[in-house]
Amino acid sequence: MIGILDYNAGNLKSVESALENIEAKSMVITCPAQLSEISGLIIPGVGSFKTAIENLKAKGFTKEVISEFAKTKKVLGICLGMQIFYDSGTEEGLSEGLGFFSGKVDLLDKAVVTPHMGWNQIELRKSTRLTRGLGDKFDGYFAHSYRAYEQKDEVVGICSYTEDMPVIVAKDNIYGLQFHPEKSGNSGLKILRNFKEMCYENYTICRH
């Protein structure tokens, strides 16, 4: 079972539909106690960084709670869900993020049109289980005005929008996607299918 975190900042329905499309069982997670019922967690997001962090904390999903879950299970953040994995964000004023990845989330370069909306090409910098079978380049669907700055070893894929920016990141069991896989056609479904298989494999190992 894959959990979809509801913290009043997520696009739950489209993620649910995409998981149904790949025949993955899912449930909406509203409190930390439910984490024991799932083998993987998706954190979607639409809205502001500051509000998202406040909502997470109000529901009890602190960095420590998510870190504990990620010790043995997989976590995937989508769009804003990826951004809150960073140290800090400037939307609605500077606020502290979860700190799983180093760097700050700030506005896109002033020279580009915002929001970054629609299809754009993603280039993989290294291979991961999450991106298996996608080749070196594929297209993803974007809808965002903020991006992560500071490219480190965690960067798996980048997208060029006047400037290169990290759009796929991974560290241990935590993964982030700046684009929306649920709106990215077959490539997006492939990523979600890979995530499903990773969660299933992890569940099987834990059961034994």
Query: Which has the closest alpha carbon to 126: 151, 102, 106?
Result: 151
For residues 165 and 173, give the distance between their C-alpha atoms in angstroms, rounded to a whole number.
22
* 8 A C-beta contact, residue 122 and residue 179: yes
Question: Catalytic site residue 79?
Answer: yes
Q: Is the Cα torsion angle 169, 170, 176, 180 positive or negative in sign?
A: positive
Question: Catalytic site residue 159?
Answer: no
* Choice among 16, 91, 154, 182 that is catalytic: 182
Question: Catalytic site residue 182?
Answer: yes
Beta pairing, strands 163-171 & 174-177: antiparallel
* Choice among 16, 79, 91, 159 that is catalytic: 79
* Choice among 16, 159, 180, 199 that is catalytic: 180
For residues 174 and 73, give the distance between their C-alpha atoms in angstroms, rounded to a whole number.
9
Residues with a catalytic annotation lie at 79, 180, 182
